[in-house]
Structure 1
Amino acid sequence: MVSASWLLLLGLCFSASAGGEQRGGGKPSEPRRLQSGGDEERHVLERTELSKRSAALNEQTCTALSGVEAALLNNTNTFTFKVRTMGSLSLAWVGDGSGVLLVLTTFQVPLFMMRFGQSNLYRSEDYGKTFQDVTHLINHTFIQTEFGIAISPDQSGKVILTGDVSDIGGFRLFRSQDFGLTFVSNDLPFEPLIQMLYNPGDCNTLLTLSITSELWLSEDFGATWRKIHDSVLTSLSSCLDDKGMLELRKTVDYGRSFQTIATRVYSFVLGGRFVFASIMTGMGTERMIHVSVDGGELWNMAQLPTVNHEQFYSILAANQDMIFMHVDDPGDSGVGTIYVSDDRGTVFSKSLERHLYTTTGSDTDFTAIASLRGVYMTSVLTEDDAVETVITYDQGAKWETLHRPQNSHCSTDTCRLHIHASYSTTMRMNVPMLPLSQPNAVGLILAHGSVGDAESALSPDVYVSDDGGYTWLLALRGPHHYAILDSGGLLVAMEHSNSPVNQIKFSTDEGQCWHTYNFTNDPLHFSGMDSEPGSRSMNVSLWGYRNDFSKWVVITVDFRKLLTRDCNEGDYVQWLAHSADPSGSNDGCVLGYKETFLRLRKDSVCWNGRDYAVTKKLSPCPCTVDDYHCDFGYYRPANSSECVEQEEMKGRPLEFCLNGTTEQLQTMTAFSHSHKAPFSVIVPHSFLQI
Structure 2
Amino acid sequence: MDVPMPIDDYQIYYVSNNHQVIFIRTIDGHIYRSGDEGATWEKQTDPSKMPNFKATSGISSISHTQVKDGTIVLYFLGSDYSTLWVSVDAGLSYTYCDNLPSFSYGFQMHPMYPGFVLSKRSNNGNIELWVGKDNGKEWDRLLDGLTQNSQSYWSIFPTTDPNRIYVTKNEQLLYSDDFFVTSHVIPLDGKRVLAFAIFEPNKFVVKTCADVQCIDKELYISEDGGKEFTLAEIPERDIASERENDFLVWELSDSAIWLYVDRGCVASNCWGDMFHSNSADTDFTLSLPYTKRGEFTKYNSVDGIYLANQYITKSSVPESAEAVRSLITFNKGGDWNLLRAPEFDANGQPTNCHLENGCSLHVHGWGTSSSFTYFYSVPNAVGLMVASGNIGTALDNKKDKIATYISFNGGVKWTEVKKKEYVPEIADSGAIIVMVVESGETNEISYTIDNGNEWRSCIFTEKYIDISNIRTAPGWTSRKFLMYGQRTVNGAIQVVIYQISFDEELPRICSKADFTTWSPTTEHGNCVLGKATYYNVRNQTCSYGTDYKPTSTFEKCACTEEDYECDYCFSRSDLNSRCTMECRVSGIPAPPSNCTDFYEVDMGYRKVDGDLCDFTMKGSVKPKGLVPCVTPSPPHSRLTGGLGAIPIIIIVSVILAIVVGIAIYVYKNNDGLRQYMTLPFQQVGEQTNFEQGESLVEEK
* TM-score normalized by the length of structure 1: 0.73
Q: 2:32 aligns with which of 105, 119, 122?
A: 122
SS at structure 2 position matched to 1:403: coil
Q: How has the CA–CA distance of structure 1 residues 154 and 510 changed in structure 2, closer, same or farther, with 3 Å as cutoff?
A: farther
Q: In the alignment, which residue of structure 1 is the partner of 2:448?
A: 507
Q: In the alignment, which residue of structure 1 is the partner of 2:536?
A: 598
Farther off after superposition, 672-681 or 569-578: 672-681
Q: How has the CA–CA distance of structure 1 residues 537 and 398 changed in structure 2, closer, same or farther, with 3 Å as cutoff?
A: same
Pairwise CA distance, 1:623: 3.7
Farther off after superposition, 541-550 or 411-420: 541-550
2:229 is the alignment partner of 1:304: no
Cα distance in 2 for residues equivalent to 1:222 and 1:611:
36
CA-to-aligned-CA distance 1:202-245 (integer Å, 9 cap, x gap): 444321211131111235443322222222345279xxxxx996
Cα distance in 1 for residues equivalent to 2:73 and 2:328:
39
Pairwise CA distance, 1:192: 4.5
Q: In the alignment, which residue of structure 1 is the partner of 2:570?
A: 634
Farther off after superposition, 284-293 or 372-381: 284-293
Q: How has the CA–CA distance of structure 1 residues 93 and 621 changed in structure 2, closer, same or farther, with 3 Å as cutoff?
A: same
Cα distance in 1 for residues equivalent to 2:538 and 2:565:
34
Pairwise CA distance, 1:653: 6.7
Q: In the alignment, which residue of structure 1 is the partner of 2:606?
A: 675
Partner amino acid for 2:41? F
Q: 1:570 aligns with which of 504, 507, 513?
A: 513
CA-to-aligned-CA distance 1:291-337 (integer Å, 9 cap, x gap): 33344443332112589997101111125942111112268783221
Pairwise CA distance, 1:176: 2.0
Do the aligned partners of 1:291 and 1:300 also contact (CA within 8 Å) in 2?
Answer: yes
Q: 2:289 aligns with which of 353, 366, 370?
A: 353
Unaligned runs of at least 5 residues, structure 2: 152-167, 314-318, 346-350, 589-600, 613-650, 657-700
Q: How has the CA–CA distance of structure 1 residues 165 and 387 changed in structure 2, closer, same or farther, with 3 Å as cutoff?
A: closer
Cα distance in 2 for residues equivalent to 1:372 and 1:339:
20
Partner amino acid for 1:224? E
2:375 is the alignment partner of 1:435: yes
Cα distance in 1 for residues equivalent to 2:531 and 2:280:
22
CA-to-aligned-CA distance 1:217-276 (integer Å, 9 cap, x gap): 235443322222222345279xxxxx9961111224444422111442233333553333
Pairwise CA distance, 1:642: 3.0
Partner amino acid for 2:368? S
Do the aligned partners of 2:449 and 2:541 also contact (CA within 8 Å) in 1?
Answer: yes
Q: How has the CA–CA distance of structure 1 residues 369 and 202 changed in structure 2, closer, same or farther, with 3 Å as cutoff?
A: farther
Q: 1:293 aligns with which of 212, 223, 241?
A: 223
Q: In the alignment, which residue of structure 2 is the partner of 1:424?
A: 368
SS at structure 2 position matched to 1:178: coil
Alignment of 1:62-211 (within 5 A): 88-107=9-28, 119-135=29-45, 136-139=48-51, 140-141=53-54, 147-152=60-65, 156=70, 158-164=72-78, 171-211=82-122
Do the aligned partners of 1:410 and 1:452 also contact (CA within 8 Å) in 2?
Answer: no
Alignment of 1:195-234 (within 5 A): 195-212=106-123, 213-233=127-147
CA-to-aligned-CA distance 1:498-542 (integer Å, 9 cap, x gap): 23x211111012234210111112222322222212211212222
Cα distance in 2 for residues equivalent to 1:306 and 1:671:
22
Q: How has the CA–CA distance of structure 1 residues 622 and 126 changed in structure 2, closer, same or farther, with 3 Å as cutoff?
A: same
Q: In the alignment, which residue of structure 2 is the partner of 1:274?
A: 203
Q: In the alignment, which residue of structure 2 is the partner of 1:380?
A: 310
Pairwise CA distance, 1:171: 2.0
SS at structure 2 position matched to 1:345: coil
Q: How has the CA–CA distance of structure 1 residues 550 and 314 changed in structure 2, closer, same or farther, with 3 Å as cutoff?
A: closer
Q: In the alignment, which residue of structure 1 is the partner of 2:331?
A: 394
Q: In the alignment, which residue of structure 1 is the partner of 2:595?
A: none
Q: In the alignment, which residue of structure 2 is the partner of 1:497?
A: 439
Partner amino acid for 2:211? G
Pairwise CA distance, 1:287: 2.2
SS at structure 2 position matched to 1:441: coil
2:189 is the alignment partner of 1:259: no
Q: How has the CA–CA distance of structure 1 residues 283 and 94 changed in structure 2, closer, same or farther, with 3 Å as cutoff?
A: closer
Q: In the alignment, which residue of structure 2 is the partner of 1:79?
A: none
Do the aligned partners of 1:244 and 1:264 also contact (CA within 8 Å) in 2?
Answer: no
Q: How has the CA–CA distance of structure 1 residues 559 and 217 changed in structure 2, closer, same or farther, with 3 Å as cutoff?
A: same
Q: Percent identity?
A: 24
Which of the pair has the greater relative contact order for Cα pairs under 8 Å at 6+ separation?
A: 1
Q: In the alignment, which residue of structure 1 is the partner of 2:676?
A: none
Unaligned runs of at least 5 residues, structure 1: 1-13, 19-32, 36-86, 108-118, 238-242, 358-363, 655-669
Cα distance in 1 for residues equivalent to 2:654 and 2:513:
38
Partner amino acid for 1:228? L
Pairwise CA distance, 1:638: 4.3
Q: 2:468 aligns with which of 516, 527, 550?
A: 527
Q: How has the CA–CA distance of structure 1 residues 467 and 154 changed in structure 2, closer, same or farther, with 3 Å as cutoff?
A: farther
Partner amino acid for 2:366? S
CA-to-aligned-CA distance 1:637-683 (integer Å, 9 cap, x gap): 4432632111xx146679xxxxxxxxxxxxxxx97322233329996
* TM-score normalized by the length of structure 2: 0.72
Do the aligned partners of 2:264 and 2:270 also contact (CA within 8 Å) in 1?
Answer: no
Q: CA RMSD in A?
A: 3.3
Do the aligned partners of 2:198 and 2:204 also contact (CA within 8 Å) in 1?
Answer: yes
Pairwise CA distance, 1:406: 2.5
Pairwise CA distance, 1:404: 0.9
Aligned residues: 553
Q: How has the CA–CA distance of structure 1 residues 611 and 331 changed in structure 2, closer, same or farther, with 3 Å as cutoff?
A: closer
Cα distance in 1 for residues equivalent to 2:365 and 2:221:
30
Do the aligned partners of 1:15 and 1:234 also contact (CA within 8 Å) in 2?
Answer: no
Alignment of 1:468-507 (within 5 A): 468-499=410-441, 501-507=442-448
Q: How has the CA–CA distance of structure 1 residues 282 and 683 changed in structure 2, closer, same or farther, with 3 Å as cutoff?
A: closer
CA-to-aligned-CA distance 1:340-398 (integer Å, 9 cap, x gap): 112222211111111122xxxxxx11112211112221111111331011122222222
Q: 2:500 aligns with which of 557, 572, 594?
A: 557
Q: How has the CA–CA distance of structure 1 residues 335 and 496 changed in structure 2, closer, same or farther, with 3 Å as cutoff?
A: closer
SS at structure 2 position matched to 1:370: coil
Cα distance in 2 for residues equivalent to 1:236 and 1:400:
41
Cα distance in 2 for residues equivalent to 1:375 and 1:202:
38
Do the aligned partners of 2:219 and 2:231 also contact (CA within 8 Å) in 1?
Answer: yes
Q: How has the CA–CA distance of structure 1 residues 143 and 606 changed in structure 2, closer, same or farther, with 3 Å as cutoff?
A: farther
Q: In the alignment, which residue of structure 2 is the partner of 1:324?
A: 258
Do the aligned partners of 1:90 and 1:105 also contact (CA within 8 Å) in 2?
Answer: yes
Q: How has the CA–CA distance of structure 1 residues 526 and 292 changed in structure 2, closer, same or farther, with 3 Å as cutoff?
A: closer
Cα distance in 2 for residues equivalent to 1:309 and 1:264:
21
Q: In the alignment, which residue of structure 2 is the partner of 1:543?
A: 484
Cα distance in 2 for residues equivalent to 1:562 and 1:245:
59
Do the aligned partners of 1:160 and 1:196 also contact (CA within 8 Å) in 2?
Answer: no
SS at structure 1 position matched to 2:368: helix
Farther off after superposition, 398-407 or 438-447: 398-407
SS at structure 2 position matched to 1:214: strand
